[in-house]
Amino acid sequence: MSLLNNIKKTCPSTTTFIKKLLSIKDDNITFPTYTDALSEEEVHGVPSKVFSGLLSYPENPYCCPKCGVVGSVIKHTLKASLIQMIPFQNVPTYLRLYKQRYRCKDCDHTFSATTNIVDKNCYISKALKFAILSDLKQKCSMTDIANRYFVSPKTVERILKSYTYEANPYTYQLPECLLVDEFKGTKDCHSKFCFIFSDGQTGKIIDILNDRRNFAIKDYFLRFSLENRCGVKYVVMDMNASYPYAIKEIFPNAEIIIDRFHIVQQLNRALNNKRIQVMKEQKNKESRHYTKLKRYWKFVLTYEDNLDYEKRSQYPLFDKKFVTQTEVVDTLLSFDEGFKQCYEIYQMLLGHFKDKEYNEFFDVLHALPRNLDKSFKKSLKYLTKHTRSVKNALRLPYSNGKLEGKNNLIKVFQRIAFGFRNFGNMRRRIFLYEENWQTKKPKKRKCRRKTA
């Protein structure tokens, strides 16, 4: 009882100091003297610092929040609530706030004074919630955030779910260029991979679907208006064989662009498979040839203009002789004539690709020698199935680089979090990092005057 009496005695200096310490802006909260305002207690078995203060209005409320009658509210009793604040010096910090209770003489309804430092029926301060939301934007797991702020991982998950909302994606104006890709999703996804697409100009993620199959993609995009979908002129994607059919149906005016990285990757994979084939053949004939092909594979895949033909270095497998990178490649090509033939065609294609000469690029593909290695030839011929898309890639400046960077970020999130089990949580964290989510706003209640 003595503490309750002391709580009502305001100390201006202590009130100012504690408010600055806890970043409290509410003028209705006051604190008593230092000895009564701060104590060290065990909360949930953890030594904590507890501040004690009073929440009361300078005047009685204007009207009853239930019946709306004006001038019928009087003071009632005090009710204590323990509010968790942001930890101070890595010590759990709480605010024991004694809230003034009020009673309506007209309807006998009782209610408490409210404050903006905490939501209604909640014991976690808004400042702590925003600190958790801020950390959710960083590359760290929910468990680490929970340990940092002395809350449970479920609390962090609830804050992530309840304190944000998503705008209606179908009101979004689709950009002129769309970047589409997929990444490995969670166990509760409808398919093994998720579908992600972003703005080609800004790189901002527009949405993520938990299914990459064509029917799911069409079901999603066909909810956008036809006028909105007709505004999409370019769609950048990898060489996924199923996407073009859905893209043409969804976006009637869109041109498909194959990402340049995947074109080069297709060329690299074709030559690398031939190198491995020759390497296995040389394993039984000449082990040193096998080792050289295995060790210096990067030189074979490098564009010939980027190889150093002047600087000589020592290479262990060349008896420590001083040789250039081009001499290393020439030695590797001398092991097999078919390998040398594939390498020359590879370099021709790579040169035309880098110079954006798409006509010459396809002239080489259409004039491949008959005696060329079948597997190598088959890999190159696959590009002719996407002739128009590959030409668009060489003719236009768009690429999937921005979206690939976002995918790398998602993989970092998944690795740090030791794998997400819930698609919704993973999607929320990605969008929170992208700042595509907004905080919720409370509704206000109107008062009514007492009738005679």
Residue ending a domain, among 93, 123, 153, is 123
Q: Sorting pLDDT into bands at 50, 70 and 90, what band is 378?
A: very high
Q: Do 108 and 36 lie in a common domain?
A: yes
CB atoms within 10 A of CB 165: 11
pLDDT given at position 151: 94
Global pTM value: 0.78
Among 131, 120, 136, 32, which residue's Cα sits nearest to residue 83? Answer: 120
First CA to last CA distance, the chain: 41
List the Cα angle 243/246/252 in 5-degree steps: 120
Relative to beta strand 164-166, strand 29-30 is unpaired
Q: What is the mean pLDDT of residues 18-34?
A: 89
Q: What is the mean pLDDT of residues 171-194?
A: 86
Q: Sorting pLDDT into bands at 50, 70 and 90, what band is 164?
A: low
pLDDT given at position 438: 45
Q: Is residue 224 part of a domain?
A: yes
Relative to beta strand 164-166, strand 110-112 is unpaired
Please give the Cα distance from 312 to 435 (Å, whole number).
Answer: 51
Please give the Cα distance from 163 to 277 (Å, whole number).
Answer: 57
Q: Is pLDDT of 359 > 70?
A: yes
Q: Do 181 and 86 lie in a common domain?
A: no
Q: Do 267 and 385 lie in a common domain?
A: yes
Q: Which of 187-196, 198-207, 438-447 has the lowest mean pLDDT?
A: 438-447
Q: Sorting pLDDT into bands at 50, 70 and 90, what band is 361?
A: very high
Q: Is residue 444 part of a domain?
A: no
Please give the Cα distance from 401 to 259 (Å, whole number).
Answer: 8
Whole-angstrom CA distances from 178 to 88, 204, 394 are 46, 10, 17
Q: Do 351 and 414 lie in a common domain?
A: no
Q: Is residue 449 part of a domain?
A: no
Q: Do 118 and 216 lie in a common domain?
A: no
State the residue for tokens 């204590």. 80
The domain tally of the chain equals 4
Phi first, then psi: give them for residue 47, nearest 5 degrees.
-60, 125
Q: Do 269 and 384 lie in a common domain?
A: yes
Q: Which of 16-20, 80-84, 155-159, 415-419 has the lowest mean pLDDT?
A: 415-419
Q: Do 311 and 245 lie in a common domain?
A: no
Tell me the H-state helices in 77-211.
Answer: 126-136, 142-149, 153-162
Q: Do 309 and 218 lie in a common domain?
A: no
Tell me the per-residue pLDDT of 51-69, one tens digit each, with 9 for 90 and over.
999 999 888 888 888 888 8
Q: Sorting pLDDT into bands at 50, 70 and 90, what band is 256?
A: very high
Q: Do 28 and 149 lie in a common domain?
A: no
Q: Is residue 386 part of a domain?
A: yes
Q: Do 54 and 77 lie in a common domain?
A: yes
pLDDT given at position 3: 63
Please give the Cα distance from 428 to 437 (Å, whole number).
Answer: 8
pLDDT given at position 106: 86
pLDDT given at position 265: 92
The domain in which residue 182 lies consists of 169-259+399-439
Which H or E run contains 183? strand 177-184
Q: What is the CATH number of the domain that holds 180?
A: 3.30.420.10
Q: Is residue 447 part of a domain?
A: no
Q: What is the DSSP string of 49-103?
A: EEEEEEE--SS--SB-TTT--BT-EEEEEEEEEEEE---BTTB-EEEEEEEEEEE
Q: Is residue 450 part of a domain?
A: no
Whole-angstrom CA distances from 289 to 208, 273, 304, 367 are 48, 16, 21, 31
Q: Average model confidence (pLDDT) for the chain?
A: 86
pLDDT: which is higher, 68 or 103 = 103
Q: Is residue 328 part of a domain?
A: yes
Amino acid at residue number 242: S
Q: Do 37 and 106 lie in a common domain?
A: yes
Amino acid at residue number 19: K
Q: Do 271 and 373 lie in a common domain?
A: yes
Q: Is residue 446 part of a domain?
A: no
Please give the Cα distance from 450 to 62 (Å, whole number).
Answer: 11
Whole-angstrom CA distances from 130 to 20, 148, 190 are 18, 14, 32
